[in-house]
Amino acid sequence: MKFMIGDLPVLFPYDRIYPEQFSYMSDLKATLDAGGHCVLEMPSGTGKTVSLLSLIVSYMQFYPTKRKLIYCSRTVPEIEKALAELKRLMEYREEMGAKDEEFRGLGLTSRKNLCLHPEVSKEKKGKVVDSRCRDLTSAFACEKGRANPGSVPLCDYHENLNNYEPGNLIPPGVYTLDDVKKYGQEKGVCPYFTIRRMMPYLDIVIFSFHYLLDPKVAENVSAEMSKESIIVFDEAHNIDNVCIESLSVDLTRPMLDSAARSVNKIGDKIEELKRTDAEKLQNEYEKLVAGLQEANEHREDEDMLTAPVPSAKLSEDMVDEAVPGNIRKAEHFVAFLKRFIEYLKTRMRVLHVVAETPQSFLAHLKEITYIERRPLKFSAERLTSLVRTLELTNIDEHYALQQVVGFGTLVASYEKGFMLILEPYETEHATVPNPIFHMVCLDPSLAISPVFERFSSVIITSGTISPLDMYPKMLQFQPVMEVSYPMTLQRNAFFPMVITRGSDQVPISSRFEVRNDPAVVRNFGSILIEMSRVVPDGIVAFFPSYLYMESIVSAWYDMGILSEVWKHKLLFVETPDAMETSIALKNYREACNNGRGAVMLSVARGKVSEGIDFDHNYGRAVIIIPYQYTESRILKARLEFLRDNYRVRENDYLTFDAMRHAAQCVGRVLRGKTDWGLMVFADKRFARQDKRSKLPKWINQYIIEAHSNMSTDMAVSLAKKFIRQISQPFDHTQTGISLWTLEDIEDRQRKDREEADRALRALGPGAIQAQAAEGMQLDREIDGDAFAPVEDDMDYGDDIDDEALVRAAELHGMEVESG
C-alpha cells in the first residue's frame, strides 16, 4: 500500500495496516523532521519492526541527507527477523517501481555465528572462535604469511577478500545472516569481515546493542558512522541494564591468579624479544613517546583489546599525549601490572563488605603501591600496544588480564557514577570466602551519552517501555516525543485479572516475608490447578527467580499439587541450562499441538521471558508471580545514585522495574490481534492503581476495576465465561476498526484536517490567516496536496530524487546547487 504522511510518500508492504502502525509512523516522521530523539511504546505483536523500516526507508530515500539507519536489536533471532522483514520490504518497493538499485542492508553478529573456516567454526565458545580468528587474521600474521607463504597459518576466506574492491565486497541488496553465509561459501570470502568492511557503505545496518553501547566494541565497529544516521534501539526496555553492564567489571580471586600467570608469560616473551629483536621494543617505545595515536596506527580488522571507556572520554587528555613515562618501557609496564595485581589480591583478603568510591580506591592504591591515576588510565591502551608488539597469539588465554586492566582503566577514568564493592562471600550464609570485587557502573547515561551526542535522531522503542518518562531521566536525554499507543481490538481478546486472595481468603503475595507461607504456596498452586483445568492448550507461569521456583515446585510436589496439575496438562520447567530448556520448550510445543496441553514454569528475566514467543495455542494463559528483589548492595548503590542524581525515588524505580518485567512476560503470550488469552496477575500488590498504572497502556486499558481484586474461585468462573465467549465464531477481517485500508487512512487524515480546521476557527481569524499563509507556502513547496492519494506513477527512488532533493532541500531551507 502507498500513502502519504505529510509530504512523505510511504510504501508499506501490506494492503492493510493497523491504526497503531499508522500513528507510530506519523510520530516517527515528526521525530525525524524535528531532528530529535523519541521514546515510543507499541503494543506487542502489532508490526512495530515493519512500520519502523517502511517509514525510515521511505524517509531515507525521499530525503537523501538521512543516508543511514543503524537498527539495534537484542538477540540474533530478532536481528534475523528484522533482516527478513527488510528484505520483504525492499522486494515490495521494487515491485512498486522504487529505484533502490544501490541500496544495501546487512546485519552484523559475532564471528561464532558467521565463521566458515573448517576448524575454527567448529569451536563451541564464541571467545575461542574470536581468539583463533584473530591469530589467523591479525596484521602481523598477515604480513608474515603474505611475505613468506606457509610460514604462519592464515584464513583463506579472509585473504580472498583482497581480490575484491573495498566498497564492493558484496553486490547491492539486502542479505539475511544466512544469505551472507551462503554468499561467503560461494565466493570463498569471510562473511564476518565482508560485513565489517562494508559497514561504511551500507544504508542499513542491523546489529545488537553492544556494537553501539559497549565501548570495547563500539570504537572498532561504529566509529565511521555519520551524524546524520538514524539510530533505533528496538526492544529497548532493558537498555539501562545493557549500558550499565557494558561499563562494569567483576574480578575474582582465580581471575587475579590467572592474570598474574599472564603477566609472567608476557614478561618471558619480552625477555625473549630483547634477545632476538630488541629493535622492535625500541620502535614501540618511540611510538609511545610520540603519543597513543601513533602507537595505535590504524590496523584493519584488528579488535583484540580496547579500553573499556568511550574514546571521547579517553581523548579528554590522552590521544595526543605521550603514554606516561613509567609504563612506556615494556618491562616497566610488566612490573607495574604485577604491583597492581598484588595490591588487588591483598584487598581481597578482607572478611567484611567494603564499598568505596573510585577516588578513595585510588588514594589507597597510591599510598600502598605508588601507582598513580594517569598510568592506570592508560593501562588498557598500553596493553593493546604490547600485545601487538609481542605478536601474542591465543589472546583468550589472557582474558583475566584484560579484565584486570579494564578494571584499572575504568577506576582511573571516572570519578562519578561508579562504586567499588568488595563482597568477601558469595551468599549471605556462606562460610568459605569467595571474594568478588565489583567495579559497578551506577549511571546508565555514561555508556549511551556518546550516542546521543553523536547522532541527531535516536529512537528508543519497545512493546513494554512504560512509564515513558523513566528512560529520559535515567539516560539523560531530552525526547521530542514520548508516546504509548493503546491497542485497538474488535473484541476484548485479552482478559487481564488480578487475583489478590485464594478461595480460602488468604491474601496472595510474593512479598518476601510471606512468600514461603504454606497457605500462600498452596494458593499459588490452586491457581495453577484451576487454570489448567479450564484453559485449553498451553499455560505459562512466570516466577521471580530460579531459587523461588525450585522451592515452590518442591513444596507443590509434597502437597500433591503437581499430581493434580498432571491430570490436566504436562508440566515443563525452565532451567538455567539453555540446552535443557530448549528441549523442554520443544516438548511443551508438541504437547500444545497434539491437544494434551502443557504448563511451562519459567522465570521472569530468564531466557524464556525475554526471547521466546508463546503465541496462540502455545500460550492461552499467563500467570505472573511478580519480581521480588533481594536487597543486594549493588542494587542499593544504584538506587541511591538514581535518587541523589536523577531524582528517581527508590520505590518508583523498583515498581517500574517489576512492572516492565511483568509486562514483558505478558507480552510473550499475547502476540497480536488475532491472538487471545488470559493474563493472571497473582499478587495483591497489583490491586493498587498506582502500581498498575505503570504497566503499558495497551495492557492497562483492558484491566477493569471489577477484575482487579478477585479471589481464585471468582477468577476461574470468569475465565470459563471468557473462554466460552472467545471461542464463538468470529469475523477475522477486522477491517475499519482494528485494521485499516487505504480509504480508512485517507478518511482519518480528512477527519484530522477537519478537526484542525475547527480548532483553528475556534482560535479566531488571526490564527486562520497565519495558517492560510503557511498552507500556501507549503502548497508551493510540495507542489500539491500532501494528503492526496498517491499517484501510480509517483517515483520513490534515487533517480527521481533530483527533483525530490530540491523539494526536500527547500523544505529544510537549504540552497541547492544546480546540476
Of 136, 170, 497, 599, the residue at the interface with ligand SF4 (CB under 6 A) is: 136
Q: Are strands 621-624 and 538-543 parallel, antiparallel or unpaired?
A: parallel
Nearest approach, Cβ of residue 166 and ligand SF4 (Å): 16
Nearest approach, Cβ of residue 178 and ligand SF4 (Å): 15
Nearest approach, Cβ of residue 268 and ligand SF4 (Å): 28
Nearest approach, Cβ of residue 157 and ligand SF4 (Å): 4
Of 157, 414, 471, 548, the residue at the interface with ligand SF4 (CB under 6 A) is: 157
Nearest approach, Cβ of residue 158 and ligand SF4 (Å): 4
Of 39, 155, 236, 585, the residue at the interface with ligand SF4 (CB under 6 A) is: 155
Distance (Å, whole) CA 14 – CA 30: 23
> 423 to 482, contacts with ligand SF4 by CB under 6 A?
none
189 binds ligand SF4 (CB under 6 A): no
- 255 CB-side CA count, 13 A: 21
Coil, helix or strand at residue 123: coil
Q: CB under 8 Å to 259, separation ≥6 — which residues? A: 337, 341, 400, 401, 403, 404
Looking at residue 122, what DSSP letter applies?
G
Contact 68, 225 (CB under 8 A): yes
How long, in residues, is the chain?
819
190 binds ligand SF4 (CB under 6 A): yes
Phi and psi (nearest 5°) for 291? 130, 165
> Residue 467: is the preceding peptide bond cis (ω within 30°)?
yes
E strand or H helix at 634 = helix 633-646
The sign of the torsion formed by the CA atoms of 544, 548, 554, 557 equals negative
Nearest approach, Cβ of residue 132 and ligand SF4 (Å): 7
Nearest approach, Cβ of residue 222 and ligand SF4 (Å): 19
Letter string b/e over residues 131-150, b meaning 16 or more CB atoms within 10 A of that residue's CB:
bbbbbbbbebbbeebeeeee
Task: Select the span of 131-139, 168-176, 432-440, 660-668 touching ligand SF4 (CB under 6 A).
Answer: 131-139
Closest to ligand SF4 by CB, 115 or 380 = 115
Contact 422, 437 (CB under 8 A): yes
Closest to ligand SF4 by CB, 162 or 769 = 162
> 661 to 720, contacts with ligand SF4 by CB under 6 A?
none
Of 23, 26, 31, 137, the residue at the interface with ligand SF4 (CB under 6 A) is: 137
Distance (Å, whole) CA 518 – CA 524: 10
- In DSSP terms, 372 is beta-bridged to none
Nearest approach, Cβ of residue 184 and ligand SF4 (Å): 8
Looking at residue 549, what DSSP letter applies?
H
Mask for 100-119, x = binds ligand SF4 (CB under 6 A): -----------x---xxx--
Of 59, 192, 618, 698, the residue at the interface with ligand SF4 (CB under 6 A) is: 192
Environment class of 571 (CB within 10 Å of its CB; exposed 0-12, middle 13-18, buried 19+): buried
> 528 to 567, contacts with ligand SF4 by CB under 6 A?
none
Closest to ligand SF4 by CB, 136 or 499 = 136
Task: Select the span of 151-159, 207-215, 564-572, 592-600 touching ligand SF4 (CB under 6 A).
Answer: 151-159
Distance (Å, whole) CA 659 – CA 689: 12
Nearest approach, Cβ of residue 155 and ligand SF4 (Å): 3
Give Cα 86 to chain centroid, integer Å. 19
Nearest approach, Cβ of residue 191 and ligand SF4 (Å): 7
Least Cα distance to 685 among 817, 562, 551, 512 occurs for 512
Closest to ligand SF4 by CB, 116 or 327 = 116
Closest to ligand SF4 by CB, 181 or 568 = 181
Closest to ligand SF4 by CB, 155 or 679 = 155
Task: Select the span of 162-170, 189-197, 357-365, 716-724 touching ligand SF4 (CB under 6 A).
Answer: 189-197
Closest to ligand SF4 by CB, 136 or 468 = 136
133 binds ligand SF4 (CB under 6 A): yes
Closest to ligand SF4 by CB, 128 or 481 = 128
Nearest approach, Cβ of residue 136 and ligand SF4 (Å): 5
Q: Cell numbers 625500541 label which residue?
A: 282
Nearest approach, Cβ of residue 300 and ligand SF4 (Å): 12
Task: Select the span of 186-194, 384-392, 496-504, 761-769 touching ligand SF4 (CB under 6 A).
Answer: 186-194
Least Cα distance to 140 among 307, 390, 382, 328 occurs for 390
Residue 484 CB coordination number (10 Å): 18
Closest to ligand SF4 by CB, 66 or 210 = 210
Distance (Å, whole) CA 109 – CA 111: 7
Kindly write down the DSSP assignment for every residue of 503-536, as one continuous string: TT-PBP---TTTTT-HHHHHHHHHHHHHHHHHS-
Nearest approach, Cβ of residue 391 and ligand SF4 (Å): 17
Contact 59, 220 (CB under 8 A): no
Instruction: Count the site residues for ligand SF4 by CB under 6 A.
Output: 14
158 binds ligand SF4 (CB under 6 A): yes
Of 120, 527, 552, 745, the residue at the interface with ligand SF4 (CB under 6 A) is: 120
Locate 179 and state its grid cell. 544469505
Closest to ligand SF4 by CB, 93 or 134 = 134
Q: CB under 8 Å to 632, separation ≥6 — which residues? A: none
Task: Select the span of 58-66, 188-196, 250-258, 635-643 touching ligand SF4 (CB under 6 A).
Answer: 188-196
Alpha helices, DSSP H only, in 647-711? 650-669, 689-692, 697-700
Least Cα distance to 136 among 390, 389, 395 occurs for 395
Nearest approach, Cβ of residue 192 and ligand SF4 (Å): 4
256 binds ligand SF4 (CB under 6 A): no
Nearest approach, Cβ of residue 120 and ligand SF4 (Å): 4
Task: Select the span of 152-160, 380-388, 498-506, 758-766 touching ligand SF4 (CB under 6 A).
Answer: 152-160
Contact 403, 259 (CB under 8 A): yes
Closest to ligand SF4 by CB, 22 or 192 = 192
The CA-based dihedral angle spanning residues 661, 665, 666, 667, taken in that order and rounded to the nearest 10 degrees: 100
Distance (Å, whole) CA 663 – CA 703: 13
Nearest approach, Cβ of residue 181 and ligand SF4 (Å): 10
Task: Select the span of 18-26, 190-198, 425-433, 801-809 touching ligand SF4 (CB under 6 A).
Answer: 190-198
Task: Select the span of 150-158, 196-204, 671-679, 746-754 touching ligand SF4 (CB under 6 A).
Answer: 150-158
Contact 115, 133 (CB under 8 A): yes
Closest to ligand SF4 by CB, 119 or 644 = 119
Of 71, 193, 627, 681, the residue at the interface with ligand SF4 (CB under 6 A) is: 193
Closest to ligand SF4 by CB, 23 or 131 = 131
Residue type, 84: A
Nearest approach, Cβ of residue 151 and ligand SF4 (Å): 18
Give Cα 385 to chain centroid, integer Å. 31
Nearest approach, Cβ of residue 304 and ligand SF4 (Å): 13
Closest to ligand SF4 by CB, 132 or 660 = 132
The angle formed by the CA atoms of residues 354, 358 and 359, to the nearest 5 degrees, is 110
Environment class of 789 (CB within 10 Å of its CB; exposed 0-12, middle 13-18, buried 19+): middle
List of residues contacting ligand SF4 (CB under 6 A):
111, 115-117, 120, 133, 136-137, 155, 157-158, 190, 192-193
